[in-house]
Amino acid sequence: MSLTESPPHPRVIVPPGWAAIAVSADNGDTARRVFRDAWTQGPRDSIGPFIHRLEEWLASVLDDARDAGCFRVILPMGVPWQVPVSTAISLSFAPAAARDASALPGAELRDTDAGTARRLITDLPVAGADPEALALLRTVEYVWPLPDADGALIAFASISGQPVAEFAPVTDALTVLIETMLDALDWPTAPAEQATNQEESA
């Protein structure tokens, strides 16, 4: 199979409160479907503006992912840890060159359920940054060879928040959670299983 054909979409297990959302041509419609049940949580005139802001936020995230060539975004639908630190994971396919060590300098080999991946964790410099402003704190990247195609699967996770030392444990905990999800990512074993997985992710 070449990368011009449709590679198998991986299976990802997400924790409670998270969602794996397929990127589409109309991400506004996707966002409305995601938050459809939220309309039952209170009077429409009082919760409506808040839900519309959530829909606009999610549509913007998915549009950015679509423009970057991603097919799925995995993110928490809220911030249960109650500090200004957030994260998201995007999945995309790439040409075979992305599998080369030179494409991700400094990466280490990592055993995962989907096979051996290259993994790179990067801490961004935040010295002197405004402690009240949001900044990109850390990125986590995984690259796997596609099982039956001449290409690669890339998972890119970003962790953003206020660059405050007291929030560092949250960044570390999110990193462990991201690694746990990506270490458990795997491939469907049959065409029927792949089709079911893609429908569930839509």
pLDDT confidence of residue 190: 58
- β-bridge mates for residue 152, sequence order: 94, 145
Please check whether residues 119 and 89 belong to one and the same domain: yes
pTM: 0.83
Please check whether residues 167 and 101 belong to one and the same domain: yes
Please check whether residues 179 and 90 belong to one and the same domain: yes
If 0-12 CB within 10 Å is exposed, 13-18 middle and 19+ buried, where does residue 163 land?
A: buried
Q: What is the pLDDT of residues 141-151, one digit of tens each?
A: 999 999 887 89
Spatial contact of 116 and 103, defined as CB atoms under 8 Å apart? no
Give the pLDDT band (50/70/90) at residue 25. confident
Which phi and psi angles does 88 have, rounded to 5°? -160, 150
User: CA torsion angle for 168, 184, 155, 86 (degrees, to 10)?
Assistant: -30
Q: Is residue 13 part of a domain?
A: no
Average pLDDT, the chain: 86
Please check whether residues 135 and 179 belong to one and the same domain: yes
Q: Is residue 200 part of a domain?
A: no
Nearest by Cα to 155 from 168, 171, 139: 139
Average pLDDT of the residues in 31-46: 78
Higher-scoring residue by pLDDT: 195, 6? 6
Higher-scoring residue by pLDDT: 97, 201? 97
Q: How far is 194 from 202, CA to CA, in rounded Å?
A: 13
Please check whether residues 52 and 141 belong to one and the same domain: no
CATH number at residue 122: 2.60.120
Total domain count for the chain?
Answer: 2
Q: Is residue 15 part of a domain?
A: no
Q: Is residue 8 part of a domain?
A: no
Q: Is residue 99 part of a domain?
A: yes
Q: What is the span of the domain harbouring residue 49?
A: 24-69
Q: Is 148 left (phi over 0), alpha (psi -120 to 50) or beta?
A: alpha
Please check whether residues 56 and 112 belong to one and the same domain: no
Give the pLDDT band (50/70/90) at residue 140. very high
Q: What is the pLDDT of residues 9-18, one digit of tens each?
A: 999 999 999 9
Answer yes or no: is pLDDT of 202 > 60. Answer: no
Spatial contact of 144 and 128, defined as CB atoms under 8 Å apart? no
Average pLDDT of the residues in 126-130: 83
Q: What is the pLDDT of residues 44-90, one digit of tens each?
A: 777 777 778 888 888 999 999 999 999 999 999 877 677 889 999 99
Structure tokens at 15: 């924790």
Please check whether residues 119 and 180 belong to one and the same domain: yes
